[in-house]
Structure 1
């Protein structure tokens, strides 16, 4: 049986990419369009990503701009942003929505830092799950000799350690950005 470590590495990289996307959605002191990426708008009879209906921009350090392409979708976009749980109230100016980001207080910063830590822990668990699946496949391979299996498991552990270290670094940087901003 053939064990493909590149596939294992790709799966672990996908976990890191998802974490990067989730951390990008957490608000620091500065405005970022990544904050709006998870927003879905009820348009065209389906939950459509906001980025498919409008262009997002940073107008200044505390203001985001959402330029809706079709005037008929402005109300739906406004409603989706209000109901997104981000605590934002859009100001409509034609097809442009301005989103003023209120300053973060200490309690909210701490809460967001904890959320970043939780996202990182979920990513670590997912990476370890990929490791477990690969190690199970190695153990199930009946035609593999014990020294080869041990060598493969060692390489899988090295991959896991590398990705967990990357996750830890990403989480630490995001937590520092949240708490210092």
Structure 2
């Protein structure tokens, strides 16, 4: 029972770190990345579809993305979805190809994005600590029900703390790497 709780905590902490990685991919660094537009939904004949399901997205160079809708009538819908997104980018359309040029980031904008990255990292750490608390509460419940000994609970709490420390270290590394990527000119 204790091992199951520890494995569950480990799995949930790893998912928190992966969720942080996914969230940080969306933070624009001035380099083109297809993941920047992954979350954009396009109105496709009355239903909202992810951009990747109505068009091909490619990186044409370090500062621009090329989006080619699979159907000609979808060009205007894709363009509209990009304009309405939270990216603040302006698409340029040439026939059936949509180009998005990513402007260089200013020093001020880089510092703002660094703060966003740190806030995301802190949210991930809070989630990890909550997972640790949940695991420790489960251990104490087992102790109350006299299913395990105090020594087992203490050992298990120490192991969960080690897992937590490793997960928080991973979060710090992810945040540090993204910060370096942001500050590179």
In the superposition, the TM-score normalised over structure 2's length comes to 0.92
Structure 1 residue runs of 4 or more that deviate by more than 6 Å after TM superposition: none
1:15 maps to 16
- Distance (whole Å) between structure 1 residues aligned to residue 48 and residue 10 of structure 2: 32
- Distance (whole Å) between structure 1 residues aligned to residue 105 and residue 11 of structure 2: 36
Secondary structure of 2:85's match? Answer: coil
2:116 maps to 115
**CA deviation map 1:35-65 (0-9, x unaligned):** 1122122324333221122221110111111
Secondary structure of 1:140's match? Answer: helix
Give 1:3 shift. 4.8
Structure 2: which 5+ residue stretches go unaligned?
Answer: none
- Distance (whole Å) between structure 2 residues aligned to residue 39 and residue 13 of structure 1: 26
Query: Is the counterpart of residue 126 in structure 1 residue 114 in structure 2?
Result: no
Give 1:91 shift. 1.0
Give 1:70 shift. 2.0
Structure 1: which 5+ residue stretches go unaligned?
Answer: none
CA RMSD of aligned residues (A): 1.4
In the superposition, the TM-score normalised over structure 1's length comes to 0.94
Give 1:95 shift. 2.6
- Distance (whole Å) between structure 2 residues aligned to residue 70 and residue 147 of structure 1: 65
- Distance (whole Å) between structure 1 residues aligned to residue 103 and residue 124 of structure 2: 29
1:99-110 equivalence runs, <5 A: 99-110=100-111
- Distance (whole Å) between structure 2 residues aligned to residue 2 and residue 9 of structure 1: 12
Query: Is the counterpart of residue 179 in structure 1 residue 183 in structure 2?
Result: yes
